[in-house]
A and B are shown apart, each in its own frame.
Chain A
Amino acid sequence: MPDLSPVSIARPTGTRVSRVLGIASLVGIVWLVVFGLFLSPNDATQKAGVRILYIHVPSAWLAYLAFIVTGISSAAYLFKRTRSLTWDRIAGASAEVGVLFMGVTLVSGSLWGRISWGIYWTWDSRLTTTAFLFVTYIGYLAVRGLGGTHQQRARRSAIIALLATLEVPLVHFSVKWWRPLHQQESVAEGKLNGLMLFTLFVGIIAFTLLYVWLVLHRQRVLAMEDALDDQGLDTALAERRAEGAQI
C-alpha cells in the first residue's frame, strides 16, 4: 500500500542522515563561493583566473571518485557473494553524478583555458582523454537505458563500467606521460599555500559531501523506478493471465 503521508511524499528519498548531509553540503558550497570569489587572493601570474581552480579541481576529482565508485559497485554486483541490484543502482547513480561533474569540469576548464592559453579548447592529452572519458560514461548511461530485465541491465553495464574505469588513471597520469599544454598538479608541486590551499580544501570537502548526497538520493530514485517497472510487469502479466483464462 503506497504511503501517502505528506512528509513521505514531500521528501520521498530523504532521511535524517541525508538532510544533515544536504545542509552540510550547502554550507560548504556557500563557504566555497565566499572564499573562492572574495576572500582568497589573486595569483601572481594567473591573477583572478586562479579562482576557477577552486571549482575546477574539486569537480574533476569528484568525477574520478564517482567513476571509481561505479567500477567498485559494478565489481560488487558481478561477484556472486555480493550480488545485489543495490550495487547496480549505486553504480548507475554514481556514473550519472560523475558525468555531471565531468561535464562542468570540461566547461570550467575550457573557460580557464581561454584565460590562460587564449583558446577554449586544444587537443592536448589531458583534454582529449578527459573528453573521451566523458563520452565513455555517456555511452555507459545509454547502455543502462536499453531494454531487458534489471539483472540483464546490471550485468551488461557492470562489464562496461569495469572496462571504463581503466580510463581514469589514463586521464590522471596523462599530464605526466605526455607533457601536454595542461598544467601539472599545482597542489602536489606545492604551488598553492595559505588561503589558496584552504579554499581548495573547502571546495573538495563541499563537493565530496554534495556527491554523497546526490548519489544517496539518486540511487533511491532508481530503486523506486525499478519498483515501478516491476509493478508494471506484474500488472501486464496479470492481464495476460486473465485474457488466457477467458479463452
Chain B
Amino acid sequence: MLASMGVSEQTPYVIISYVVTLGGIAVFAWRMLARARKIAPQVSEEDRPWT
C-alpha cells in the first residue's frame, strides 16, 4: 500500500536528511538573529555603520 503511494523504505532517510539540513540551518539563523536583537540596544549607531 505504501509503495503504491510512492513511499519506499528509503523515504524516511530522505525526509530526515532534509529535516536535519534545513532545520539545522533554520536554528542557526534564528539564534543568530535573536543574538543580534539582544545586543543591538547596547551598541551605538556608529558601531553599526550598515544601518
Could you tell me if A111 and B13 are in contact, using CB atoms closer than 8 angstroms?
Answer: yes
Interface set of B (CB-CB < 8 Å, partner A): 8, 10-11, 13-14, 16-18, 20-22, 24-25, 28-29, 32-33, 35-37, 39-45, 47-48, 50-51
Chain B contact residues: helix, strand, loop or mixed = helix
Could you tell me if A51 and B32 are in contact, using CB atoms closer than 8 angstroms?
Answer: no
The listed residue (A3, A47, A217) touching B45 by CB distance below 8 A is A3
Cβ contacts under 8 Å, B20 to chain A: 104, 107-108, 111
Query: In this complex, what residue of B is CB-closest to A217?
Result: B32
The listed residue (B24, B29, B47, B51) touching A8 by CB distance below 8 A is B51
Interface set of A (CB-CB < 8 Å, partner B): 1-4, 8-10, 12-13, 15, 29, 33, 36-37, 47-49, 51-52, 55-56, 59, 97, 100, 103-104, 107-108, 111-112, 114-115, 210, 214, 217-218, 220-221, 223-225, 227-228, 231
Could you tell me if B51 and A3 are in contact, using CB atoms closer than 8 angstroms?
Answer: yes
The listed residue (A8, A59, A100, A112) touching B13 by CB distance below 8 A is A112
Could you tell me if B14 and A37 are in contact, using CB atoms closer than 8 angstroms?
Answer: yes
Could you tell me if A227 and B24 are in contact, using CB atoms closer than 8 angstroms?
Answer: no
Give Cα distance in the complex from A220 to B50, angstroms: 9
Could you tell me if A29 and B22 are in contact, using CB atoms closer than 8 angstroms?
Answer: yes
Cβ contacts under 8 Å, A9 to chain B: 37, 40-41
Query: How far in angstroms is the closest Cβ of chain B from A206?
Result: 10
Query: How far in angstroms is the closest Cβ of chain A from B32?
Result: 6
Query: How far in angstroms is the closest Cβ of chain A from B46?
Result: 9
